[in-house]
Amino acid sequence: MTVKAVITDWGGVLTSPLNDAIDLWLAADRIDVARYKSVMRAWVKQAYDGGTVNPIHGLEDGTLEPAEFERLLAAELLDVDGGAVLAEGLIARMFAEFAPVEPMYQVLREVRANGVRTALLSNSWGNVYPRELFAGVFDAVVISCEVGLRKPDERIFRHTLDLLGLDAADCVFIDDIEHNVRAAESLGIRGLLHTAPEPTIEALRSLGAL
């Protein structure tokens, strides 16, 4: 294939791993870890396996206000002493330890300098995105809550392709969630399941994007 565009997720690809940030938040807020994992495991399964619509759907597609998501999630959680968890600011605390992964930003700059277009495609959790880092990196930025669609819905991929003016077969998509990668592949986009910068960068190199 000839790579004409690289489309990438944000959280867990251009940031430090999600699980690391969550673990630090759970410790800092003294959250009952087993209870959190039980709640989130069920919500995430519903969000990506279809079936029951839950708060993750609404948060990501913009139909549920972040403050309401915080209220709903906090109501399901307890701290290690069995007490209530503060809802206000919960999302900010969850992702407070996200840090940019400079090697991934650098490779996107190199890809773009090589004449390959780039796009960000992110499911938002009410995040404050570091848009100052996006300048000179992306030709298009698609945030789920801003377009009313969320991965793995094929429509959000098609929307991104339309912004790039390219066919699916011309593009590579990077994500750390397998469901999203498989959804992209079902449309004919080449999928890369991200686990760490080095193998992703090597895959881009082998595809001729670098």
Q: What is the DSSP letter of 31?
A: B
d(CA 203, CA 77): 40
Query: Mean pLDDT in runs of 10 for the chain (210 residues)?
Result: 92 94 95 95 82 84 95 96 96 94 96 95 93 94 96 96 96 96 97 96 92
Can you list the alpha helix ranges (DSSP code H) found in the chain? Answer: 18-28, 33-49, 55-61, 66-76, 90-94, 102-113, 144-147, 154-164, 178-186, 197-206
Query: What pLDDT is recorded for position 52?
Result: 66
Query: Which residues lie below 8 Å from residue 28, measured CB to CB, with a gap of 6+?
Result: 93
d(CA 150, CA 155): 8
Query: What pLDDT is recorded for position 50?
Result: 67
In the chain, the amino acid numbered 91 is I
Query: What pLDDT is recorded for position 51?
Result: 62
Task: For tokens 């996200």, name the residue.
Answer: 98
pTM of the model: 0.93
Dump strand ranges (E) for 13-150. Answer: 117-122, 140-143
Query: What pLDDT is recorded for position 127?
Result: 86
Query: What pLDDT is recorded for position 1?
Result: 65
How far is residue 90 from each of residues 34, 44, 103, 186, measured CA to CA in Å? 18, 18, 29, 35
